[in-house]
Amino acid sequence: MLLLCIVLISTISLSAQRIAVKNNILYDLTLTPNLGFEFGIGKKSTLDMSVGYNPFNLTDYKRFKHWLVQPEYRYWFCEKFNGTFVGAHLHGGEFSVADLKLPFGFMSQLDDHRYEGLFYGGGVSVGHQWIMHPRWSFEAVLGIGYARITYDKYPCVECGDKLKSKTYNYFGPTKAALSIIYFFR
């Protein structure tokens, strides 16, 4: 993955005309600071690199700590940074989650245990970007794919010995973004 990123970044200097900096509003709603960069690498292609990092405890017992890196190659149907695109992304990160009550009983096991681990995988996405001003755009993206999740389960947030270690194969949504974008020329 590192070698792929180095090769892709080295091609950016050859044909980059615009550089975009973006913030994912959906990630902000999870109180996760995030930043994305997107570089033109061809007439109809870009490389997007998004990162997020949440080092905060929500309360003494509740936590949603994690970091995420998600590079993505995008092919644009009209022109880069305008209109509809399809993408292929990789992702990887680490997490420590405890005492979370998600809506509709989703992942109810998070209510009373702590999970720590890492994940990696990839997927495909589709999105659209709307130009609001020569330097500002808005973007919506949805992606599906795979993640290999390796984790340890603990009885509570700060205490207890590890209950078990497990690996899980996840198929489903792997990317969701509503982003505000600023362009440098």
Full set of structural domains in the chain with CATH: 2-184 (2.40.160.20)
Q: pTM here?
A: 0.83
**Closest CA relative to residue 179, chosen from 143, 144, 128:** 128
Given a contact cutoff of 8 angstroms between Cβ atoms, the answer to whether 127 and 139 are in contact is yes
Start-to-end C-alpha separation, the chain: 28
Given a contact cutoff of 8 angstroms between Cβ atoms, the answer to whether 126 and 141 are in contact is yes
Given a contact cutoff of 8 angstroms between Cβ atoms, the answer to whether 76 and 85 are in contact is yes
pLDDT string in tens for the chain (185-residue length): 555 555 555 555 444 458 999 999 999 998 899 999 999 999 999 999 999 999 987 777 778 889 999 999 999 999 999 999 999 999 999 999 887 766 655 555 666 788 899 999 999 999 999 999 999 999 999 999 999 999 999 887 677 789 999 999 999 999 999 999 999 87
Q: Which residues pair with 91 in a beta bridge?
A: 121
- pLDDT tens-digit series, residues 71-107: 999 999 999 999 999 999 999 999 998 877 666 555 5
Q: Structure tokens of 8? A: 């892709």
